[in-house]
Chains A and B, each alone.
Chain A
């Protein structure tokens, strides 16, 4: 059945610019899957959750798709099968087995009082995923009999999707101006012993008072993201400083939600990655590291530099030779490019989704949120940060057995006067 969105038939979609590379890069080690979770104050009923998920189809048509091979590019096509909710798997962010998942590239899990959503990055980015999860939880609570008001903060099933939600915003904001390619120098890479491939990852969640962290960042005249980047960089130097013989550069890859700078209602990918770079392992005080981090932010986050970055990414997509190359030839090239220009340029990855806002009637049923980044094959750590109801949850997802870096980072937070609560899946003991 064709979806009519504002009178336009839409049963297939081109992949947006950021999404094009993920189907080529996905493997057992590199799942390209990220996860959001919402912890409710009551145990989740899987039957009600299943009904809520099915109700999402008409409101979020770009999620209920399957990835197909075209002759020149991958594309998304309406998936008429039924998605099923599942009990949570102990392996966080594993590659989605799309056959057993009815060809869907997202999975909704339940575990005790938690609803979690794992999404393949070709479908959407963090903003799109958290919007979907909020709507799903809202619908679930409605079906459980709670009286809720959306207050314009949650998309509801009685609304129709708009064409703007499905647009490729990269295409909209790219210009034809000449551009320069940004060169990111290769940083120090963490090479500790890893978990067996395909057998899951270690997760440590830390919860702390977001207002207290915000106050500390304000004292240094920095944003929370800048401050956390500096703290992470400091922890990397403290743990791995002795191993940095040839290269003491620490790059933290940070996805930036471009909707904050360029108006867009798109629920598809609209993020860009940029890197903070610090190059001095001998000065380990925050006062020394933070200026370099802030310099990276101020240079990398101007509108002009972002449009340059968009133009660079769009250049490959617009190049006629690239467009006419068959997919079976493009795929290995994209895989190599993703590996060479992706994870190798990061010491670790961090993403701060920010404050999640819920309507009051819904917020009283929600405890907190979690956010786990997808880890790149070359990047040992992914740190997801999300804040709700004055509680900041920092989720450290790691490919390596060692817990020294999370330990140092969280101890640094404690030394700053913050009270930290920790939970873990103790993966180093089982895998």
Chain B
């Protein structure tokens, strides 16, 4: 065993100097050979470095696009489309590659992200240089593509995807319930638009896809409530406990 003459302690771990005063050690007859801890290995979290790099690059790219759009302004706000696309790729993309979140949550975020992106593309491309009164007058024509077809179809597709994921991994049913219910409630947005169209303003052209999406959301919710009521109640009980 080694000994530090300054600190007057026995040093049992193998080392060049005293761990307390960093001074030289008197080597014993049997020098200390114990390595009480594993050797140091420098840890580099590459995943986090990439995420930080992308988180820095994305807002810079958005800023550059906005600047170029303003400097070369011809009435077409293309930077909004690019900005929303980069935002979607950045936030939802990073979330997708995170290992810690399960498929249900990722599908939910993609549904919201893609719907938002399609709506922005529709409105920017369909009304490049209209005044606000022209915009409101022709709203249902402008919004036809996204609100009538694209958004309801996207929501239906992702609700179907979550249903398939749930059925194929029934042992993880409990994990998917909240994402399932969340997306199904979002699937009622077309229904809200239908009500606005009927009772307030003419915003939709065709109601078919909106009715289909809302019905599909309702059917999904009813299936869970009818066939797994205890599971749903328990999961909501624990998630919403105060």
Contact = CB atoms under 8 A, between A and B. Distances in A.
Interface of A: 12, 14, 68, 70-73, 75, 77, 87-92, 98-100, 111, 198-200, 203-206, 323-324, 403, 406-407, 410-411, 414, 419-427, 430-431
Contacts of B22: 403
B28 to A, nearest CB: 12
A420 B1 CA distance: 12
Given A411-B7, A422-B9, A424-B13, A88 B238 contact: no
Interface stretch (B33-41, B68-76, B82-90, B156-164): B33-41
A92 B41 CA distance: 12
B40 A427 contact: yes
Q: Sort chain B's interface into a size bin.
A: 20 to 34
B241 A426 contact: no
Given A71-B240, A73-B242, A414-B7, A423 B13 contact: yes
19 contacts: A14-B241, A70-B239, A72-B242, A88-B37, A89-B38, A99-B100, A204-B20, A205-B36, A407-B20, A414-B7, A414-B8, A422-B12, A423-B13, A423-B36, A425-B13, A425-B37, A426-B19, A427-B40, A431-B40
A203 B35 CA distance: 13
Contact of B19 (A75, A92, A199, A403): A403
Nearest to B39: A90
A88 B241 contact: no
B35 to A, nearest CB: 8
Given A14-B241, A90-B40, A411-B20, 4 more contacts: A111-B37, A205-B36, A422-B4, A423-B34
B241 to A, nearest CB: 6
A407 to B, nearest CB: 4
A90 B1 CA distance: 23
A199 B40 CA distance: 9
Nearest to A422: B9
Given A70-B241, A99-B99, A203-B37, A421 B10 contact: yes
B142 interface: no
A32 B55 CA distance: 27
Nearest to A323: B242
B9 A420 contact: yes
Interface in B1-31: 1, 4, 7-13, 15, 19-22
B42 interface: yes
A411 B8 contact: yes
A88 B20 CA distance: 24
A71 B99 CA distance: 21
B13 A198 contact: no
Given A88-B37, A414-B7, A12 B238 contact: yes
Contacts of A77: 238
Contacts of B10: 419-422
A423 B11 contact: yes
B9 A414 contact: yes
Contacts of B38: 87-90, 111
A120 B41 CA distance: 23
A422 B7 CA distance: 10
Contacts of B36: 205, 423-425
Among B8, B13, B22, B36, residue most surrounded by chain A Cβ atoms (within 10 Å): B36
A324 B8 CA distance: 59
Interface string B163-207: 000000000000000000000000000000000000000000000
A70 B239 CA distance: 4
B133 interface: no
Contacts of B8: 411, 414, 420
B227 interface: no
Nearest to A14: B241
B242 A324 contact: yes
A72 B42 contact: no
B21 A90 contact: no
A424 B43 contact: no
